[in-house]
Amino acid sequence: MIQDIYNSQYGKVAYIKKDNIVLLTWKQKCSNDDYRNTALAALNALREYSNSNFVVDARNGFEDDKADVEWGFSVLLPEMSKTDCKVIVFIMNEVNDIEDEIDMWTKEFMKYFAVHRVTSYDDVMTYMDFKAKIPNHVAVIPIQIKPDCIEKFIEIITENIKHSRKEKGVVSFDAIQNKEISTEFLLIEVYMTSEDQLRHRETEHFKVFKSQVRDLLQEPYQAKIYHSI
């Protein structure tokens, strides 16, 4: 099902339900309200359709007005970053005259989103299918244990790992002990999404683990979070 949201002689915005994609198709180069009204329609669609991704078909033209670019960077993109959208894909002709413009927009989009370029809508879906199968959230947690608590910590973390590996969305869950400094451990947690890690932190076995290790630590630990794109 394709739901038309906005349509003018310059651009069209539609929501493709089966793919959960907001598709903006530029029909020709434009500026000022002709450009901004189309872009705002896409923004509102991203707000309305939860977790949808944004595809921009730029094969028939793309705006290059300086004032619109400044508006896009200062207003449009920050507002888009407040939506649930995670991925931006540009559809471009293999040979085109807007490479520099797209490079400029890609650089700005990458401050907030994963960005990819393809040459057809079929390629969009190939990329989305691939991205859905790879983990995109990694937590690396260095932990310092008191010298007389090492064996107790190993016992506790082993039990936590056993339960955590069974959780939905957990790709891997491991603890590594430094061979040279036996009080140092590194927890490496790989999830499909950030939401999976949030669910992990609400499980009973995580809460038990957290309470059990509190007195074993030399200092409080904090996860370092990494996202793939």
**How many angstroms separate the first and last alpha carbons of the chain?**
28
CA distance 199 to 128: 24
How far does CA 167 lie from the centroid of its chain? Answer: 21
pLDDT under 50: residue ranges of the chain:
229
Query: For residue 99, what is the enclosing H or E element?
Result: helix 99-109
- pLDDT at site 157: 96
Q: Where are the alpha helices (DSSP H) in 3-48?
A: 32-48
- pLDDT per residue as tens digits for the range 145-178: 999 999 999 999 999 999 999 998 898 999 999 9
Residue 21 near residue 46 (C-beta atoms within 8 A): no
User: In the chain, count of helices (H) and strands (E)?
Assistant: 8, 10
Domains identified in the chain and CATH numbers: 2-132 (3.30.750.24), 137-226 (3.30.70.100)
- Parallel, antiparallel, or unpaired for β 87-91 and 2-7? unpaired
pTM tops 0.75: no
What pLDDT is recorded for position 42? Answer: 97
